[in-house]
Every structure is written in structure tokens, then in C-alpha cells.
Structure 1
Amino acid sequence: MTKLHIFDMDGTLLRGTASVEISRRVGQLEAAMAIEEGWVRGEISDVQFWELCLPLWQGITDADIDEAFEAAPWIDGVEAVFADIAQRGEYSAVITQSPQFFAERLLRWGVGSVYGAGVEPGGRAGSDLLLTADDKVVIATKLMADYGLTEADCVAYGDSSSDVPLFRRLRHTVAVNGSETIRKLAAVVYDGCDLREAYAAGRSLLSDGGANGPERDRHRADTCA
């Protein structure tokens, strides 16, 4: 039976956030950082976050988004991991709260499917357009059903609070440079700069039936450039 690998994007595949990288491209980095900090402190709701961000991107072109995507600080080995999954006849998906219009460019790098927020530059920011942490579980469950897989055939990779519901649902989970909360939930903890190493840890969970907590933690001393 084949397998399904589900990845978060911001903080997991991307060392940072899509909103900051898009804003950097259009000369609005300072404003975007202030919005991010307010959201992290809980002073800005999810809807308010996009109400503030989207106007910053008014008039951005596809070429600008392409350049922001290419210049973004991706963790090493992303394309290699997607290629290996496809070569094995397995499935991959990215589920992110960041904009679909940015995340879908990962399809060019070989990921099987991408799910993100339906917001658009300069557009509205209604709650119906957003993708929540609970939505990640809904999407993952549908993917497993569509592919005829069970939870035992699926591994999730994430780093933060948006991944908590999915990590609570699945047995095979890898924290990638994760927060304290997600590290406690994960079957394996990976700290480092190369997705290929986190992916190897995920494959080990699929092959040996899982792990129980910190004894499977994996750490790297080097830092990401």
C-alpha cells in the first residue's frame, strides 16, 4: 500500500512566512513584520491579519510573486523530497494557512497537491476564505479517503500551533524546527536545515510502526544559513 506525506509550509518548508516574503518583494517588509508581531501576540485575529496584509499587496504581479517565491528562504532539499515521494508512487500534499496563490507554486517543485487560504492581493479577507488548523484535519481525512489510505499510512510534518489538531489526530508526526507545543506532540523531533533528514525520520515511522516521544528525538548542531 502507498503512503501520504502532509507538509505545513511556513516554518516547516519555508524558514519564515509567505506574507513576509511577499511583502518584502513589494517594499512593505516593515509593515508586514509589525502585522506578524501583532498576530503572534494575539492582538490581531486571523481575519484582521489579512485585512491588514492584503492591501499591502495591491497591484502585485504574477512575476512579483514568482520572484518572491524563488527568493524565499526554503529549507534545503524540498524538491528532492517531493521527487522521492513521487518516484515511490506515494502521495504528497502541502496544507497551509498562507495564501493559495503563493503556496501553489510548490506544484512546480513536484508536490502532489496544495491547499491554502483563498485570499487574493487587494481582495477581501472573510473567514470563509481562510484555512484553519481544524481544516487541516478535514483535508487530510479527505485525502486519505480519496487515496484509500488509513492513518497508519500517513505522516505529517509541521512546526507550530496550526499543526496541533493534525498532530493530535495522526500517529506518525515529525516536528520540524518546531515550537515547544508541537515538539511534545510529535513522534519525532527534527532540528536542522535539510528536509531530507526530517523526511527520513518520517519514513522510519512508517516502516517501524511509530515511536513514543522523546527517545526518538533527533537534533542537529549546525544552523541554517
Structure 2
Amino acid sequence: MSRLHLFDLDGTLLHGSAAAIEISRQLGCEREIDALERDFFDGLIDPAGFAAAACALWGEALTDAVVSAAFESAPWLEGIKDVWADIEARGERCAVISLSPQFFVERLTGWGAHATRGSRWPAIPFREPVDPAGILNAEAKVRIADELCAAYGLTRADCVAYGDSMSDARLFAAVPVSVAVNADHHVRDVASLAYNGLDLREAYALVADGRG
């Protein structure tokens, strides 16, 4: 039986960080993005509001070179490429679904992800406003999972989800196997399995060895 492995990005593949944080670190505006992250966590702004504020914060200073530097220096979990290579060898599929900008998320196809889905931000450098319709939310993760299943000839019953935050909870509820990766109790309590550590191979082993 084939499977579709669905990975979150921020806080999951990226340990203790997020795409927006890593980009802001390159631009020297960590304090400002931290404030936006707190507002988002507290529910004061939604994903579209966060994207609009971050877009205004970075402005035309954001370039492809900055995004590349942020991606390369980010605190990724160990073993991501190994896990995705094993998934490929098993004839299974893996995808990344993230609320973060697609121009960051899509770089993971070079590491072996079969598909990446992130929020649609304006082209870099920013000269247009954020279109709220292109910004993903928790509900969109389930919709995209269904779209990917249809594309690969699979169903939700064939899916495994990996995530860390409440934005993953709806997807966790929709699939039979889920792995809370370095997550707080809100997400661990709804997950099938839980992992704390710095190596994705160990989290993946919980599923690959038959426990999930």
C-alpha cells in the first residue's frame, strides 16, 4: 500500500524557527517579526494579516539572494533528505504543506519532496500587495491534502501527517496517522505518535517501523 507523507515546515522541519524568522534574521528585523509571531500566536492577526505585515516589513529589501541565505542557514532537522529518499525508495510520496511563502517552501523540492504547497505571496522584490486569497490557513492544509491524494490516486486513509502546532490539528484529525514533532501538549494530545528531538529519521521511524 502506498502512502502520502505530509510535512509541516515551521517548527517541524525547521526546529524552533520559521521561514519568516529566518528571512527576518537575514534582514536584521528579528524583533519586529517576533512581535508579529506573538500576535499571530495570540490570535490578534490571522495568516493573511501576518503575511501583509511581514510583506510591508521586508519590502523591496527582500531578494532571491536573501531567501537563499535564509534557507541555507536555517536550523533544519537532521536527516530530511534521508527520510525523503527512503519514502521514494518505498514507492511512497512526500509533500510539504506550509502557511509560509511558497518561494521559501518550494526550495524543498531540491531535497526530495514530491510536492510543496505554501502561501502565494507577491513576486520578489515586493511591488504588489498580498492577496489574502492566496494565503493558506489550517483548513487549507486539509483541502490541499485531498488535492494531492487525488493527484496520486490515494485517499486520506493513506496519509501520514507530521506537524507541531495548532495549525496542524485539523489535518491530524483528518488522517489516520499523525506525528507530533517537538510539539506542545495541544498538538501531542491529538496526534497518534509524538517525537521530541533533532533528527527527522527518528520521527519517521515511528511510522516506518509499523507503530503508525
Give the TM-score normalised by the residue count of structure 1: 0.87
Could you tell me how far 1:124 is from its partner in structure 2? 1.8
Aligned counterpart, 1:136: 141
- 2:208 pairs with 1:203: yes
2:3 is aligned with what amino acid? K
Could you tell me how far 1:45 is from its partner in structure 2? 2.7
Instruction: State the number of aligned residues.
Output: 207
C-alpha deviations, 1:169-203, integer Å up to 9, x for none?
A: 11111110112121011111111111001111122
C-alpha deviations, 1:8-38, integer Å up to 9, x for none?
A: 0001001211101001111111111111112
Specify the SS of the correspondent of 2:94: strand
Specify the SS of the correspondent of 2:129: coil
Greater relative contact order (Cα < 8 A, sep 6+): 2
Query: Structure 2 stretches of 5 or more lacking a match?
Result: none
Distance 1:7 1:181 in 2: 18
Which residues of 2 match residues 165-176 of structure 1 at below 5 A? Answer: 165-176=170-181
Distance 1:202 1:107 in 2: 22
Give the TM-score normalised by the residue count of structure 2: 0.92
Could you tell me how far 1:125 is from its partner in structure 2? 2.4
Distance 1:98 1:5 in 2: 18
* Pairwise CA RMSD: 1.4
Which residues of 2 match residues 98-177 of structure 1 at below 5 A? Answer: 98-120=100-122, 122=126, 123-177=128-182
C-alpha deviations, 1:27-61, integer Å up to 9, x for none?
A: 11111111111221222232221221102222222
1:180 is aligned with what amino acid? H
Distance 2:29 2:104 in 1: 17
Could you tell me how far 1:79 is from its partner in structure 2? 1.3
Distance 2:181 2:151 in 1: 27
Aligned counterpart, 2:25: 24
Specify the SS of the correspondent of 1:94: strand
C-alpha deviations, 1:63-99, integer Å up to 9, x for none?
A: 1111100001111111111111112221000000000
Percent identical: 46
